[in-house]
């Protein structure tokens, strides 16, 4: 009797158990699908973030550029000059060769934001024209107003010495269809506009220097400027753009520093900072024989970069960490400095710059090494087989600035 009454309850319990299992399975399946969907959405968001940049606020940086390998900026500029020499000689007959460095920012064409570094730390990444295209990057010239006035003060301070002279000029520049540029100089004494002329320039090439640890990046350009041609504005259509330029320069023997305010309808639209090698220095380099050309290129690049880093962006003249495999694939540099020390695994360190009498026997018996201490870091300078690096206490190489 009890058996007949318990059978329905057992069947009901089994049915309820199956139903609960089905509900639980459906719930887990739904949760799994939702989790998978959320994971896919998260991956999609990460992909978009990587493409567009980490943050999209007004002060955020854009997508990342590879910065695991750096180059010495002055060496890269010198190599660029050497690469362009044939083009200059074949196309530049009768032209003035311009070598200029401009401050600006390397930005993403997709977001309009400045790129960020893929790895932390100081870096100088050289981007050629094909690199800029592959990264979807563009160079936007110009600096902030407050920075411009800081650069302006530094440039004008140079003119207080005999090495630099101050020079002012005002221009009106009109751009016509076909990229035709017509310039009207303004007489600073009378305010009168002088006869217009067509400016004929041909750009031969550019390289861009990405400096993520600095406020600005740099572009180095080589152009040919030909003799101006007188022109009548009445014979031309309406200009596409018309801008005023107020420029003040610190003009030195080898380089000039130009500070320019760009105006539209008397309103300042942008501030530009440029450094340009003097034509005489460029001409002296081009007149060197082929086997001496590299010396002139190194000297010209050194003047351009050292002037910029000394007076405008001191932090640009840093040592950039490298990989031994890149800079020393055959172990030449490592052997050059480790063979002088008892323990190859120990950082060479430095000896006192100002030594006492008891140091004399040491100097007689073995080499005496010194190193400048900069920013709290001691480097050991190593030169071998036309290569130069700095080595820190972790035995890692740095590109010498």
Q: Which of 316, 337, 355 marks a domain boundary?
A: 316
Range of the domain at 391: 324-399
H helices within 53-180, ranges in order?
Answer: 73-91, 129-134, 145-158
Please report whether residue 248 resides in a domain.
yes
* Number of folded domains that form the chain: 3
* 155 and 249, same domain (yes or no): yes
Is residue 6 situated within a structural domain?
A: no
119 and 230 part of one domain: yes
Q: What percent of the chain has pLDDT over 70?
A: 75
pLDDT band at 325 (very low <50, low <70, confident <90, very high): confident
Indicate if 79 and 210 belong to the same structural domain.
yes
Q: What is the pLDDT of residue 38?
A: 47
d(CA 64, CA 329): 28
Per-residue model confidence (pLDDT) at position 122: 75
Residue 163 has pLDDT above 90, yes or no: yes
How far is the first Cα of the chain from the last one, in angstroms, to the nearest whole number?
A: 100
391: in domain: yes
| Whether residue 369 sits in one domain with residue 285 | no
Q: What one-character-per-residue DSSP string does 356-401 give?
A: -GGGHHHHHHS------EETTEE-EEEEETTEEEEE-TT--EEE--
Let me know whether 206 and 312 are in one domain: yes
Alpha-carbon distances, residue 115 vs 112, 218, 355 (angstroms): 9, 13, 47
Q: Which residue has the higher pLDDT, 400 or 179?
A: 179
* Choice between 189 and 6, residue whose per-residue pLDDT is larger: 189
Which of these three, 282, 316, 350, is where a domain ends?
316
Say whether both 214 and 196 belong to one domain: yes
CATH number, domain containing residue 290: 3.20.100.10
For residue 10, is it within any domain? Answer: no
Which of the pair, 252 or 63, is modelled with greater confidence? 252
Instruction: Flag the least confident range among 118-122, 162-166, 247-251.
Output: 118-122
The answer to whether position 300 is within a domain reads yes
Tell me, what's the pLDDT at 13?
46
Cross-strand bridge partners of residue 219: 102, 208
Report pLDDT for 32: 55
Domain boundary among 283, 316, 349: 316
- Whether this model's pTM surpasses 0.85: no
Q: Find all residues with CB under 8 Å of 282, minimum gap 6, and list them.
A: 97, 98, 99, 300
The reply to whether 254 and 106 lie within a common domain is: yes
Highest mean pLDDT among 16-30, 251-265, 321-335: 251-265
CA distances 393 to 220, 333, 369, Å, are 34, 16, 15
Whether 85 maps to a domain, the answer reads yes
318, pLDDT greater than 90: no
Q: What is the mean pLDDT of residues 132-154?
A: 96
What six digits make up the tokens of 365? Answer: 């018996």
For the stretch 33-64, pLDDT in tens is 554 554 554 444 444 444 444 444 444 567 89
Q: Determine contact, residues 197/183, Cβ cutoff 8 Å.
A: yes
HSE-up of residue 350 (Cα within 13 Å, Cβ side): 16
* pLDDT of 334 higher than 80: yes
**Together in a domain, 293 and 368:** no
The verdict on residue 45 lying in a domain is yes
Domain contains 57 = no
* pLDDT at residue 228 tops 60: yes
Q: Is the distance from CB of 151 to CB of 259 less than 8 angstroms?
A: yes
Distance of CA 169 to the CA centre of its chain: 29
Domain co-membership, 352 together with 245? no
If asked whether residues 33 and 132 sit together in one domain, one would say no
**Number of neighbours of residue 123 by Cβ within 10 angstroms:** 24
Banded pLDDT at 69 (limits 50, 70, 90): confident
If asked whether residues 219 and 334 sit together in one domain, one would say no
Per-residue pLDDT band at 71 (split at 50, 70, 90):
confident
Q: Are 302 and 339 members of one domain?
A: no
Look at residue 171 and tell me whether its pLDDT is greater than 90: yes
């Amino acid at each position: 009797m009890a058996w007949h009454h318990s059978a329905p309850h057992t069947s009901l319990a089994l049915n309820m158990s199956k139903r609960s299992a089905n509900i639980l399975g459906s719930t887990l399946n739904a949760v799994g699908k939702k989790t998978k969907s959320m994971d896919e959405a998260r991956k999609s968001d990460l992909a978009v973030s990587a493409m567009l940049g980490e943050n999209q606020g007004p002060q955020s940086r854009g997508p990342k550029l590879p910065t695991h390998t750096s180059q010495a900026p002055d060496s890269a500029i010198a190599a660029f000059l050497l690469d362009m020499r044939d083009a200059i000689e074949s196309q530049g007959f009768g032209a003035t060769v311009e070598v200029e460095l401009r401050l600006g920012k390397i930005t993403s064409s997709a977001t309009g934001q400045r790129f960020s570094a893929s790895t932390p730390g100081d870096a100088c990444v050289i981007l050629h024209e094909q690199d800029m295209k592959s990264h979807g990057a563009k160079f936007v010239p110009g600096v902030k107003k407050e920075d411009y006035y800081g650069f302006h003060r530094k440039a004008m301070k140079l003119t207080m010495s005999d090495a630099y002279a101050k020079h002012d000029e005002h221009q009106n520049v009109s751009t016509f269809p076909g990229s035709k540029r017509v310039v009207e100089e303004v007489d600073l004494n009378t305010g009168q506009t002088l006869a217009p002329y067509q400016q004929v320039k041909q750009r031969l090439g550019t390289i861009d220097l990405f400096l993520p640890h600095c406020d600005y990046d740099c572009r180095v350009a080589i152009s040919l400027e030909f003799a101006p041609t007188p022109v009548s504005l009445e014979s031309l259509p309406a200009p596409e753009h018309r801008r005023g330029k107020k420029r003040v320069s610190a003009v030195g023997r080898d380089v000039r520093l130009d500070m320019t305010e760009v105006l539209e309808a008397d309103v300042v639209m942008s501030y530009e900072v440029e450094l340009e090698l003097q034509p005489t220095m460029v001409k002296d380099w081009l007149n060197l024989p082929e086997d001496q050309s590299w010396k002139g290129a190194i000297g010209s690049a050194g003047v351009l970069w050292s002037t910029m880093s000394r007076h405008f962006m001191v932090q640009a003249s840093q040592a950039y960490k490298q990989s031994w495999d890149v800079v020393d694939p055959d172990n030449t540099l490592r052997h050059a400095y480790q063979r002088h020390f008892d323990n190859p695994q120990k950082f060479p360190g430095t000896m006192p710059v100002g030594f006492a009498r008891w140091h004399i026997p040491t100097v007689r018996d073995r080499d005496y090494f010194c190193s400048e201490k900069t920013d709290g870091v001691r480097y050991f300078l190593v030169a071998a087989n036309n290569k130069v690096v700095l080595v820190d206490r972790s035995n890692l190489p740095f590109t010498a600035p």
